[in-house]
Amino acid sequence: MKRIPIIETTEKTGQLVKLNGWVHSRRDHGKIIFIDLRDKSGLIQIVFLPENKEIYQLANALRPEWVISLEGKVQNRPKGMENPKIPTGKIEVAVEKLEILNQAKTPPFEISEEKEINEEVRLKYRYLDLRRERMKNNLILRHKVVKFIRDFMNDKGFLEIETPILTKATPEGARDYIVPSRIYPGKFYALPQSPQQYKQLLMVAGLEKYFQIARCFRDEDTRGDRQPEFTQLDIEMSFITQDDILNLIEELYIEIAEKVAHKKVLQKPFPKFTYKEAMEKFSDDKFDLRKEKDPDVLAFAWVVDFPLFEKTETKELTSSHHPFTAPKDGDLHLLKSNNPKDLLKIRSWQHDLVCNGYEVGGGSIRITNPKIQSRIFEILGHSKEEIHRKFGHLLTAFEYGVPPHGGIATGIDRLLSILADEPNIREIMAFPKTGDGRDLMMSAPNEVSPAQLKELRIKAAK
C-alpha cells in the first residue's frame, strides 16, 4: 500500500490507509492507547485497541518522537471527542498494522508544546526545533514566498541568473569573508556581500532584466538581528526610471502580502518620503506608519533622495548607499568641488523600502558614466592605482556601451520575519547562526588541520 500524507485522510473515511511519521504524543485511557501521529502535513489521532494483542503490545512501547509506519482504517471519532483545532479533528485511524522504523532518545525539550526554550539549546538541536509546528510553518511560508517571487519575476520577463560565490574583495560597506586560494598562494577570493557589480555587468551584457535569490555574506560585528549569511531578492533592469523599480516592487510586495501571507497593506500605492522629510517627521529613515502596531497590517513606505555621501565617525566621507549610486542630475555640478560641505549636499537616486519600522530593501539608479564613477572613487579616497586595481573591470566594461540601469535588493529574511510576526530573522531561517556568528549545531567556526593550513601556506595566529 502506498503511503499518503496525514492531511489526505480527511477524504478517506471508511478506507484503509498507510501513514508514516513521528509519535507526537501518547495518551493511555483505560486499556486503549492513543497517539497523535505527525508528519509534515499535520497531525492525526491513532487508536490501538487491546483486541489485537501483537500490535497492542508493540504500541505499548511507543514513546514521543519514535518514527513509525502503520496501516489502519479511517473512522469518525466518537461524538464529543472531536478536536476542532486541527483539520483531522473529526476522524481517527484504528490501527491494523504497525512497524517501528526507528526509536528516539528523549528530546532535550518538548516538541509537542510551545514553551519558552533556551535559544542556544534550540540552535544546538535545530533539527528537533524544526519539528515544532511554529518553525515548520515558518519554513513553509518561506518556500511559498520564494516560489511566488520566482513565478512573478518570470511572468514579468526577468531572467534568473546565478552569479559567483567566489569573487573579488571590493569595499561595499562591511568586511568581506575571504577564502584562500591553494593554487595561487597568498591570494584570496571573497564571498560576495551582494552581487552588485555582477548584476551591473549583466546589464552591460544586454540581458536587460535580471533577478536572483542571492546568498550574501558580511563579516560584521556581533548584532543580534543580523546574520553573517543571508538571502536577498536581487534585481537589476536596463532602460528604466526609478519609478519603474518602485512600481515593480510595490506590485510584488502587495501580492505577497495579500495572496501569500493574507495580510492587509496599510496604504496603496506606498507613500513616499524624501530622506529630509523622514528625518524631520520621524527622526529616522526606518519608521512605522501603523498607529495600533497590528502585526497583520503592513505599512510599507519609500524613502528617496538620500544624500550621496555621509561622514564616518572619523569625519571622512563615505557612500550613503554604495559607490555605484548615481547622483541627482541637478546636483552633478557639486561633484567638481573638493569642499566636504558641498559634497554632502549632493542628493542621490537611492531608494529604500521600509515596513513596520524596518528597512526591507534598498537600491538605486546606477552611475553609467566612467568619468563620474571615477570621480566618486576619488572623493572616497581611492588613488588612481586603487581604482584600476579594484574596479578596473567595471570601468572598462562601461567603455563598451552601457545602458542606463538601476535596481534593488530586498531582504527576504527580514520580510519573512515581518510576515510571520517573528521578533528575529533567526526564526525564519532553517539553520541560522547565533548573534555572535556561531553555528552551535555544527560547531563552526572550527580549527582546521595543520595539513590543510600547510597546503594553503597559512599560519594560524593563536
Cβ within 8 Å of residue 232, ≥6 positions away: 194, 213, 214, 216, 409, 410, 411, 412
Is residue 4 annotated as involved in ligand binding?
no
22 SS3 class = strand
Distance CA 382, CA 390 (A): 9
Q: Which amino acid is at 160?
A: E
* Bridge partners (DSSP) listed for residue 264: 297
Distance CA 250, CA 268 (A): 8
Is residue 71 annotated as involved in ligand binding?
no
Is residue 414 annotated as involved in ligand binding?
yes
Is residue 352 annotated as involved in ligand binding?
no
Is residue 176 annotated as involved in ligand binding?
no
Is residue 359 annotated as involved in ligand binding?
yes
Phi-psi region of 282 (alpha: psi -120 to 50; beta: other; left: phi over 0): alpha
Is residue 28 annotated as involved in ligand binding?
no
Is residue 155 annotated as involved in ligand binding?
no
282 SS3 class = helix
HSE-CB of 385 using CA atoms within 13 angstroms: 0
Distance CA 461, CA 199 (A): 37
Distance CA 314, CA 340 (A): 13
> Which residue is associated with the grid cell 513509525?
68
Q: Which amino acid is at 287?
A: F
State the DSSP string of 137-198: HHHHHHHHHHHHHHHHHHHTTPEE----SSB----SSSBPPEEE-SSSTT-EEE--S-SHHH
Distance CA 391, CA 140 (A): 40
Grid coordinates representing 20 are: 508514516
Is residue 24 annotated as involved in ligand binding?
no
HSE-CB of 45 using CA atoms within 13 angstroms: 22
Is residue 218 annotated as involved in ligand binding?
yes
Pairing state between β 188-190 and 264-265: unpaired
Pairing state between β 16-29 and 42-48: unpaired
Alpha carbon 419 to chain centroid, angstroms: 12
Is residue 412 annotated as involved in ligand binding?
yes
Is residue 116 annotated as involved in ligand binding?
no
Grid coordinates representing 298 are: 503592513
CB atoms within 10 A of CB 83: 16
Distance CA 403, CA 238 (A): 6
Sequence ranges of the binding site:
172, 218-220, 227, 321, 359, 366, 411-414
Which residues contribute to the annotated binding site for L-aspartate?
Answer: 172, 218, 321, 366
**Which residues make up each annotated binding site for ATP?**
218-220, 227, 359, 411-414
